[in-house]
Amino acid sequence: MAIGKFITYLRVSTAKQGASGLGLEAQRDSVMRFLNGGAWTLVKEFVEVETGKGSNAMEKRPQLRAALALAKKEGATLLIAKLDRLARNVHFISGLMESGVEFKAADMPEANKVMLHMHAVMSEWERDQISARTKAALAAAKARGVKLGTAGRENLAPVKAEQKAKADEFANKLTGVITGMKARGLTQRAMVEELNAIGVRTSRGGEWSLIQLQRVMARLV
């Protein structure tokens, strides 16, 4: 149940979609589910027609800038109807945080600003890791003496060492997150639920289970 003044921010991918209302009604429904009754006031709705390439950048979103300006003037909370992929963009989330405006995401209702920033940082790190592994895999394997396209005892040790190094690196990236959740007194099951709720993925890109969390925590001991 929400309380206070809200400014909503909706987004569509084409001008035609915006004119037809396709996708907007679903976003408005998401907003209403978030507000869920209560003493709230909807000050204004802003609809952004995304331009495609580079549209994650704040400067490419005039409606978002206008929404932030009005929210600051009115002392209102900016309610983003559909954050989804934008939540994986560090530059975008940092821009929202630097605006000084309180903001929420209807499609990630449990997430606060810190959680969203953490989610964006982890997502960017995962993308960088995938890219780096793709570019360097063959060269690194050859340097270790691995015979590409073959399996056997001579390949097992370097492969295991590489897997351990990657697992340790991933666990270290989560040190601050897990330490913070421990400080809040969360149980391990509650930690799993929160990691999944805010969209932080495992090293393989999936959802967390209790055993996966315990394996990561064991590496941090």
State the catalytic residues.
Answer: 13
Query: Order of strands across the sheet with 40-49?
Result: 40-49, 4-12, 77-80, 103-105
Radius of gyration of the chain (CA): 21
Q: Which of 215, 196, 214 is nearest to 206 (CA)?
A: 196
- Identity of residue 138: L
Cα–Cα distances in angstroms (integers) from residue 2 to residues 29, 53, 109, in the given order: 15, 35, 11
d(CA 205, CA 46): 33
Asked whether the beta carbons of 100 and 129 are under 8 A apart, the reply is no
Tokens encoding 96: 């929202």
129 Cα distance to chain centroid: 16
Position of tokens 């709720």? 197
